[in-house]
Amino acid sequence: MATPKLSSLLSLWRRSSSSSIWGRSLNRYSTAAAAAAVEAPIVPNVDIKYTQLLINGQFVDAASGKTFPTYDPRTGDVIANVAEGDLEDINRAVAAARKAFDEGPWPKMTAYERARIILKFADLVEKHSAELAALETWDNGKPLQQASSAELPMFVRLFHYYAGWADKIHGLTVPADGPHHVQILHEPIGVAGQIIPWNFPLLMFAWKVGPALACGNTIVLKTAEQTPLTALYVAKLFHEAGLPPGVLNIVSGFGPTAGAALAGHMDVDKIAFTGSTETGQAVLERAAKSNLKPVTLELGGKSPFIICEDADIDKAVELAHFALFFNQGQCCCAGSRTFVHESVYDEFVEKATARAKKRTVGDPFKSSIEQGPQIDSEQFEKVLRYIKSGIETNAKLECGGERIGSKGFFIQPTVFSDVKDDMLIAQDEIFGPVQSVLKFRDLDDVIRRANATRYGLAAGVFTKNIDTANTLTRALRAGTVWVNCFDVFDAAIPFGGYKMSGMGREKGVYSLNNYLQVKAVVTPLKNPAWL
C-alpha cells in the first residue's frame, strides 16, 4: 500500500471530487437517485470469519448462548449473527484482563518488545486492508473509497504512532528538601474498559486501544452493537502479531447489559467511552458509583462552521458541504451549524443547495457514490423526525428532506435556510445529512451564538483575515478549531471537547495520560554529607 496522505480527510474528498469517478453527479433528486439506492446491492468479496467473543485469546460463545444480528444498512438484511455478551461475559473478560495485567508478561515486557508487537500488528492490518475496508463498509454503510483510502491508512498510522511512544514513556527525578532521592514514575493504570461507537468503528478502536497498549495496560473493549465485525477481525490479527492472551478482550453486546456491566465493574481501573452525551453521563455515573475509576469521554457536538464576509464562496460552499455531509453526517464534530455572514448569505444558500442536489447517494461499494445509508432504522427515523421538526418550525427546506428508495436507510442530502438558534435542528445533534444555515451580523454576534450551546467539541472558521481568524479561534469554546479547513486529523493532534462534549483528550501525547498512574518514590540518602 502506498504511503497515505493523512494530513486531512478533506484531501481525499477533493481528489475524489475532481476525478472522473465522481463526475456522474445528479443535478436533482430523481428516479436516478432512487435507483442508485434500491437496485441490487453489490455483494462484497469478504468472508465473515469472526462472530464470537474474544476472551483470553480465544473466540468463545456468549455464556448465555445468545446471539444478535448485525445488519446491512443498504438493505436492512442480516449480515451475520454475533455472540451477545452480557454481565457474565464481561466478568469473564475482566478476569482475563486482570490476570494478564497482574501476572502476565505484557506490563513487565520491555517497552521495545511491546512496540515491536504493535508494529507487527500494523503491518498485518495493512496486508488485510482491502478485506477490512470492505467489511467496514458492509457493516457500517460508509463509502468504500473512504474506508479504504482514508480510514485504513489512518488506522495503520495511528498504531505506528503509538508503537513509537511505547519506549518513550518515562518519569522524572525531582529535587526535594532534605537528603532524599525522589523519583516520579509513570505506570500503566491497569485494566482499561473501553466502549466504542458505530460511526468510525476501526478508527475508534485505534484511538482507544493504541495508547492503552503502548502504556502497558490490558483491555476489555465493548463494540457498538451495530458494527461489531471489524474489531473482532483486527483483534485476531493482534494475537497473530504476538499479543499475549488476556491483554485485549472483545465483548460484543448492548449498552444496558454489557456496557453498563463494564462501566460499573469493580476490577476495571479506567473507562474510556465515545458516544452520545446522554450515554456518557450514564457511564460516568456508573463508574463513580462503583470504584471511582477515572473516565474519559468523547461525546456529542453541534459544531459551528463560520463563513465570514471575505470568504471565497465557492470554496466555502465545498468545505461546508464536506464538514456536514462527510460520513453521512454521522460525525460528532460535524459542522452542523453553518453560520454565514449576512452579506454573502443568499449567494451561499443558493450554491450550497446546488451542491447538495449534486451529491450522489447509493450503494457505498460503488466508486461513484459520495453518500451511503444511515447506520440503522433507529438513526434513520431520528434524522427524518428532525427534518420534519425543521419544516414545522418554519425553517426553509431548500432541498432534500425525504428518504431515497423503499429499502435500506438512505436519506436525501438536506439543506435548511432561515434557521433560527432556538430551533431543534440548530440545537440538537442530528447525526445525519442535514445542513442548517444561519445568518450572522458581525463577530460579536456569531461568537455569542456559536458558544450558546451545551456542546464544545469543534468549530470551523473560513476567512482570509488573520485578525478575524485569531479573534474567533481564541473566543470559540471548543476543543478543536479548524481555520480554512475541516476534519483535519493526525495521530499527533489531540481531540476532545469542552462542556458537555466530554472530558480528556484522544490521540497525541495527551491520550497517554489517560492510561497512566503517577507514583512518587521517595528514598532517604544515608550519607548526605557530600551533597
Model pLDDT for residues 403-431, shown as the tens digit of each residue: 999 999 999 999 999 999 999 999 999 99
> Using one digit for the tens of pLDDT, what is the confidence trace for 97-123?
999 999 999 999 999 999 999 999 999
> What is the distance between the alpha carbons of residues 151 and 205, in angstroms, rounded to a whole number?
12
**Active-site residue, selected from the candidate residues 298, 398, 429, 506:** 298
Per-residue pLDDT at 529: 61
**What is the pLDDT averaged over residues 173-179?**
89
Q: Which has more confidence, 38 or 364?
A: 364
Task: Please report the pLDDT score of residue 80 as a whole number.
Answer: 98
pLDDT at 20 over 60: no
Q: Please give the mean pLDDT across all residues of the chain.
A: 93
- Please tell me the number of Cα atoms within 13 Å of 385 on its side-chain side: 11
Q: Name the strands in the sheet holding 58-60, side by side, starting at the edge strand that comes first in the sequence.
A: 58-60, 53-55, 248-252, 218-223, 191-195, 270-274, 295-298, 502-503
Q: Measure Cα distances from 384 to 102, 246, 402, 435, 510 in Å.
A: 49, 43, 7, 13, 38
Q: Would you state the pLDDT for residue 39? A: 72
Residue, of 349 and 3, whose pLDDT is higher:
349
pLDDT at residue 376, rounded to an integer: 97
Q: What pLDDT, in 10s, does the model give residues 489-519?
A: 999 999 999 999 999 999 999 999 999 999 9
Mean pLDDT calculated for residue range 131-137: 98
CA atoms within a 13 Å half-sphere pointing along the CA-CB vector of 272:
31
Residue 24 has pLDDT above 80, yes or no: no
Own/partner contacts of 463-468, CB < 8 Å, gap of 24 or more, are 463/306, 463/308, 463/310, 463/311, 464/308, 464/310, 464/311, 464/312, 465/308, 465/310, 468/308, 468/310, 468/443
Query: Grid coordinates representing 524?
Result: 532517604
Residue in this structure with the C-alpha cell 421538526, named with its chain if needed? 389
Q: What is the pLDDT of residue 4?
A: 41
Half-sphere exposure of 100 (CA within 13 A, CB side): 26
pLDDT range class, residue 177, cuts 50, 70, 90: confident
pLDDT at 313: 97
pLDDT-derived band at 292 (thresholds 50, 70, 90) equals: very high
Model confidence over 47-87: pLDDT tens digits?
999 999 999 999 999 999 999 999 999 999 999 999 999 99
Q: How far apart are CA 162 and CA 509, in angstroms?
A: 9
Tell me what the mean pLDDT of segment 470-483 comes to: 98
- CA distances, 192 to each of 105, 110, 242, 487 (Å): 17, 20, 20, 28
Torsion, CA 484, CA 335, CA 16, CA 381, rounded to 10: 180
- The yes-or-no verdict on residue 11 having pLDDT over 60 is no
**Residue 28 above 60 pLDDT?**
no
Residue 10 has pLDDT above 70, yes or no: no
Q: How confident is the model at residue 528 (pLDDT cuts 50, 70, 90)?
A: low
User: What number is the average pLDDT over the span 347-351?
Assistant: 98
Mean pLDDT for the stretch of residues 174-195:
94
In the prediction, which pLDDT does 21 show?
A: 26
CA distance 274 to 521: 34
Q: Which residues share a beta bridge with 462?
A: 307
Look at residue 191 in the predicted model and tell me its pLDDT. 98
Span 26-38, average pLDDT = 44
> What residues pair up with 253 in beta bridges, in sequence order?
85
Read off the pLDDT band of 40 (50, 70, 90): confident
**Against a cut of 0.85, is the pTM above it?**
yes
Average pLDDT for residues 296-315, to the nearest whole number?
Answer: 97
Active site residue 88: no
